[in-house]
Amino acid sequence: MKLYLAPLQGYTEIEFRRAWSQFFSGIDVAVSPFIPLAKSFRFRSKHLQDVIPNQNTRIPVIPQVLGIDPEKFIFLATRLEDLGHQTLNWNLGCPKKTVARKKRGSGLLPYPEQLRNILDELIPKLPIKLSIKTRLGFNSPDEFFKLIEVYNDFPLDSLIIHPRIGTQMYDGEMHLKALDQTIGQIKHKIVFSGDISDYKTYESLKTRYPQIDDWMLGRGVLTNPFLPKWIRAGKIENNEGQIRQTLYHLHEELFCEIRDKIKRERPILNKMKDFWSYFARWFKNDEAIFSTLARMDNIDDFMEYLKKVFNEHPLSQAEGRTNRQIKLNK
Ligand SMILES: Cc1cc2nc3c(=O)[nH]c(=O)nc-3n(C[C@H](O)[C@H](O)[C@H](O)COP(=O)(O)O)c2cc1C
């Protein structure tokens, strides 16, 4: 079994991966948040920094690319090969309108013939292996039947499946029935990505899909950083004192990483608020905590308030904890 850390743009960049892996374990490999193919042939240093292998030693990273221009794709793949990467992941899942409108991300899924043409051009020239992260379709999960025919015709390292469609964004029921009907036809190694928010959910998916050995965890790692370790160990831990302390270490270390990277107070505060829209789930009164944090406009007050939260507030039950971001009604 392999456990992957999902790409979550804005969250699972190198700062989080470094901080998390200092205190937690269980993840074998991460897929980076996407690197967009630039208008010109270039590789921005911020993207390079995120995937450079000697900075990603505790959790090896597979770079992910978003775009459909084969020449730029190959340019980027060649640069990544020079850095020592052996695999590149192609994002065919991003649901954002601005992305999908240009047939990028999940916006390419309704066009299987165009997908085939791109792979025809790409695969023979690609210097490293390709894996694909896909949804079941953009408008309907029925699109997956045709997509599988295309995927099956090419040598892929693996197929990472997030069983939603593009129009759902990240919410709503996953289309597991549609996956049940199609999974037997897929020739590639499958990695499952979607809504593994607690140990029970993982167990039930494992029972449903005995042919899947590799699992990708995203928001579930933000809302329960212990989850990969528990899945690997096959059991949940209940040592409340230690759990509380380790979560606090993660929060502090992540703050240091973010402060060192961003340097300006306001953006540091905003980035910490983004993380806490998931981290607040660690506590029983998650929404009240996050609503207080969201109103703060000073990073020292923010950190001070959280010290109090860690000292005084009860932790929520890890099992059954949602992996959804807290969104406040403004
Ligand atoms: C805020 C956010 C950013 C995401 N960014 C990416 C991305 O850059 N590339 C990608 O393939 N998927 C991205 N995803 C999708 C996740 O990788 C994952 O497939 C999805 O969230 C379902 O898994 P989860 O429930 O375990 O999070 C993103 C999801 C969220 C919520």
* CA 35 to centroid of ligand 1, rounded, Å: 14
Whole-number pLDDT of residue 165: 98
- 9 close to ligand 1 (CB < 6 Angstrom): yes
- The Cα 198–Cα 327 span in angstroms is 21
Q: Which CATH code is given to the segment(s) 2-233?
A: 3.20.20.70
Tokens of 145: 């039947």
User: Probe ligand 1: pick from 106, 162, 324, max atoms within 8 Å of CB?
Assistant: 162
CA 130, 134, 140: angle at the middle one, nearest 5? 150
* Protein residue with least CA distance to atom 2, ligand 1: 8
Residues written for the chain: 330
What is the Cα gyration radius of the chain? 20
Q: What is the pLDDT of residue 151?
A: 98
Compute, in angstroms, the gap from residue 219 CA to the centroid of ligand 1: 8
Measured from the CB, is residue 104 less than 6 Å from ligand 1? no
Residue with the smallest CA separation from ligand 1 atom 22 is 194
Tokens of 259: 């402060």
Per-residue pLDDT reduced to its tens digit, 26-55:
999 999 999 999 877 888 888 999 999 999
> Per residue in 253-302, pLDDT tens?
999 999 999 999 999 999 999 999 999 999 999 999 999 999 999 999 99
**pLDDT tens readout for residues 151-172:** 999 999 999 999 999 999 999 9
User: What digits encode the pLDDT tens for the residues 5-32?
Assistant: 999 999 999 999 999 999 999 999 999 9
Is 105 close to ligand 1, i.e. is its CB under 6 Å away? no
Domain-by-domain residue ranges, the chain?
2-233, 240-312
Structural element, H or E, at residue 36: strand 35-36
Q: 300 C-alpha to center of ligand 1: Å?
A: 30
pLDDT band at 329, cuts 50/70/90?
confident
Q: pLDDT at position 228, please?
A: 98
Give yes or no for residue 93 CB within 6 A of ligand 1. Answer: yes
Question: Could you report the per-residue pLDDT of 62-83, keeping only the tens digit for each?
Answer: 999 999 999 999 999 999 999 9
Q: How far, in Å, CA of 86 to CA of 65, rounded?
A: 14
What phi and psi, each to the nearest 5 degrees, are found at residue 214?
Answer: -120, 135
Question: Rounded to the nearest 10 degrees, what angle do helices 265-279 and 299-312 cross at?
Answer: 20
Cα–Cα distance measured from residue 47 to residue 243, given in angstroms and rounded to the nearest whole number = 33
Predicted confidence (pLDDT) per residue in 87-118, tens digit: 999 999 999 999 999 999 999 999 999 999 99
> Residue type at 97?
K
Q: Which two tokens stand for residue 328?
A: 């406040």
Containing 285, the helix (H) or strand (E) segment is: none
Lookup: tokens for 223: 């809302």
Substitution candidate for ligand 1 out of 3, 88, 193, 323 with most atoms within 8 A of CB: 193
Mean pLDDT confidence for 213-217 = 98
Contacts of residue 319, Cβ cutoff 8 Å, sequence gap at least 6: 198, 199, 200, 236
- For residue 170 and ligand 1, the question of a CB distance below 6 A is answered with yes
Task: Identify which of 29, 104, 170 to mutate to test ligand 1's pocket (most ligand atoms within 8 A of the CB).
Answer: 170
Segment 230-251, tens digit of pLDDT: 999 999 999 999 999 999 999 9
Q: How far is CA 217 from the centre of its chain?
A: 7
Contact 192, 205 (CB under 8 A): yes
d(CA 61, CA 80): 11
User: What's the token pair of residue 58?
Assistant: 């505790």
Q: What pLDDT score was predicted for residue 330?
A: 61
Has residue 126 got a pLDDT over 90?
yes
Output the CA 270–ligand 1 centroid distance in Å: 20
Q: Rounded mean pLDDT of the chain?
A: 97
